[in-house]
């Protein structure tokens, strides 16, 4: 299975912490969605937005167990959906995590960048994001 990521999961150490290993990836773009920071957090979310696009990465070769771990990690604020993303070799279907409608009020107008996250936010994220604690409750991967 394939997974389009657009935020913290683009950081290899985060993806490895959740799924237990790194994955091959390629650049990908999701059209008609918008990425913004979540209020008071260092991570983003996406919502549908015609005419906008989100650059990210496409991970290949995930299995059902790894997707289940990602579901736990992402929590109730996000829901997993299947989307079509554009890669250098054409369009591909992939899973991704979209902000659930009940939490859209928490989305700000602040943009999010991987560069800023890696230099300023990754330590705070790894030390405080509740998804890591939820994974610990699920047992060993």
52 a catalytic residue: no
Q: What is the CATH number of domain 2-134?
A: 3.10.490.10
> Any idea which of 4-8, 21-25, 75-79, 135-139 has the lowest mean pLDDT?
135-139
Percent of the chain residues topping a pLDDT of 70 = 96
Give burial (CB, 10 Å; 0-12/13-18/19+) of 86.
middle
What does the pLDDT read at residue 82?
Answer: 98
The full set of domain ranges for the chain reads 2-134
To 10 degrees, what angle do helices 12-19 and 64-74 make? 110
pLDDT, mean of residues 70-94: 97
What does the pLDDT read at residue 134?
Answer: 85
State the catalytic residue, choosing from 12, 74, 120, 138: 74
What does the pLDDT read at residue 108?
Answer: 97
Residue 132: count of CB within 10 angstroms of its CB? 15
């Amino acid at each position: 299975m394939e997974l389009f990521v657009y935020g913290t999961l683009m950081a290899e150490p985060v993806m490895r912490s959740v799924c237990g290993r790194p994955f091959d990836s390629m650049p990908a773009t999701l059209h008609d969605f918008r990425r913004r920071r979540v209020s008071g957090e260092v991570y983003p979310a996406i919502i549908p937005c015609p005419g906008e696009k989100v650059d990210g990465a496409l991970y290949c070769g995930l299995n059902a167990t790894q997707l289940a771990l990602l579901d736990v990690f992402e929590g109730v604020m996000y829901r997993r959906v299947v989307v079509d993303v554009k890669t250098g070799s054409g369009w591909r279907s992939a899973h991704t995590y979209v902000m659930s409608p009940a939490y859209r009020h928490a989305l700000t107008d602040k943009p999010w960048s991987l560069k800023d996250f890696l230099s300023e936010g990754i330590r705070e994220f790894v030390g405080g994001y509740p998804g890591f604690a939820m994974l610990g409750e699920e047992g060993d991967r």
